[in-house]
Structure 1
């Protein structure tokens, strides 16, 4: 049976090869291991194989793992990213426990995170989720509303705006995948041209990370290719999302 460590090595090799094909340095793209529905021991195994950044879609599940691993004290240096849709009643838990949040798409959510971030913690690192391909049932700010939201979020205390995140609909081949990711890259470049100091473009998952890297992704969110297929669905307390695969 393939171990989590073996899977991490395989994904890292894919990333390195994708960077080489795109003419980019391997250090340009970070790997976020998405551990949703997997337990703290799976995170521990990945950490032992050298992985430090982990993504969680479901806030309550993520907080439980964060607290368990911090209490155990045997995995120093873990970095936690909230990547799922964020409801108002979950912002305090995210502000108090996570290092990053990728799924801000409304000013109200950003304002709550700003107000609830404990002052003794460093700023919460924020990506704005953009609905780049216009899916009617998907989270994310519309592209034409993105500049105003980015400007407002960038001015909030306790937060640091780092970039954009997108979750496009599945596309049939590399070129189709890349075309959608290039739309997100164009929005990212536009914000930078407006003077915003952004450095993170969170896009690409298990099935399309090569296309995302080719289009300029700086962080790919990979779950299934590292941890395997998920055996359970989240409970009703947490919103369902497809922020990683």
Structure 2
């Protein structure tokens, strides 16, 4: 079992191996109709130190996720981290405020923004990205229809995808993501949020003529990434299982 006490005693490399082992086991439990590749593991490093990120990188981890623009920029612009981890890939996975978009598009080594949650956000990115540059993005879908969550409602997902492709050429649509409602009881059946996102992908694929296998599904976190992989997830976002409990002091 992972011991969560302090940065000095958390064996990040061992934790990553455990996650990878669970990922491999989950892949064997998939059905043949998930249209999903081996998932990308995004290590969610919010509130975690540069030292901890370096330890994960040394263990072979390359994709890291951050929830807050300010914190992401501090880490992405850290001179030592950039030198020691030259091919690090940053995913932005948090709620986006419009006034932060101009900062985010200039983030070094930004690999993907997974939380394009509205037409306004998509259009703002299109305006802020300079020259011939482009950005890989995912549509955030509010699969649980909770008022407290950001994201496009599932019924609007296909039309939103069409808008991105036709009106926002600097955004490269790579897939869909959901946060979902926590605490699903899997003894009652599959997670409805995962089922919903999978259906959204099929709808988008048909609506904009993108093959299913070219659309990623970002779903599943520390508590349920195994079940998400079985359901067809191609990107999982795992934080506490790798780095330990999150520090409550957050830099937004």
* Fold agreement, TM-score > 0.5: yes
Gaps of 5+ in 1: 239-245
Partner of 2:240 in structure 1? 224
Residues 141-198 of structure 1: CA distance to partner in whole angstroms, max 9, x if unpaired? 1112212211111231221011100011113322555332011101111111221354
| 2:132 is the alignment partner of 1:124 | no
Q: Tell me: CA distance 1:59–1:153, structure 2 relative to 1, closer, same or farther (3 Å).
A: same
Q: Which residue of 2 aligns with 1:187?
A: 200
For residues 106-161 of structure 1, give each alpha carbon's deviation from its aligned partner in whole angstroms, at most 9, with x where no partner exists.
1111122122223364x211001001111121111111221221111123122101
Alignment counterpart, residue 144 of structure 1, candidates 151, 155, 162? 155
Contact 2:139 2:176 (C-alpha < 8 Å) held by counterparts? yes
Check 1:105–1:27 CA distance in 2 against 1; reply closer, same or farther (3 A cut): closer
Q: Provide the secondary structure at the position in 1 that maps to 2:78.
A: helix
**Number of the residue aligned with 1:40:** 50
* TM-score of the superposed pair, with normalisation by structure 2: 0.87
Contact conserved, 1:18 with 1:210, CA < 8 A, in 2?
yes
Q: List per-residue Cα deviations over 1:55-111 (Å, max 9, x = no partner).
A: 000110001000005774111111111000000011012211122101111111112
**Does the residue aligned with 1:139 lie in a helix, a strand or coil?**
coil
* CA RMSD, 1 decimal: 2.0
Superposition pairs for residues 57-206 of structure 1, below 5 Å?
57-69=67-79, 72-97=82-107, 98-119=110-131, 121=133, 123-155=134-166, 156-174=168-186, 175-176=188-189, 178-194=191-207, 195-197=209-211, 198-206=214-222
Q: CA deviation at 1:230?
A: 1.1
CA contact (8 A) 1:94 1:113 kept: no
Paired residues in the alignment total 235
Three-state SS of the structure 2 residue aligned to 1:180 is helix
Q: TM-score, normalised by structure 1?
A: 0.89
| 8 Å Cα contact 2:113-2:138 kept in structure 1 | yes
Q: Once the 2 structures are TM-superposed, how far is the Cα of residue 47 of structure 1 from its aligned partner? A: 0.6
Deviations 1:183-216 (A, max 9, x none): 1101111111221354211000001011111111
Q: Does 1:30 align with 2:40?
A: yes
Question: 1:16 corresponds to which residue?
Answer: 24
The structural deviation recorded for 1:2 is: 3.7
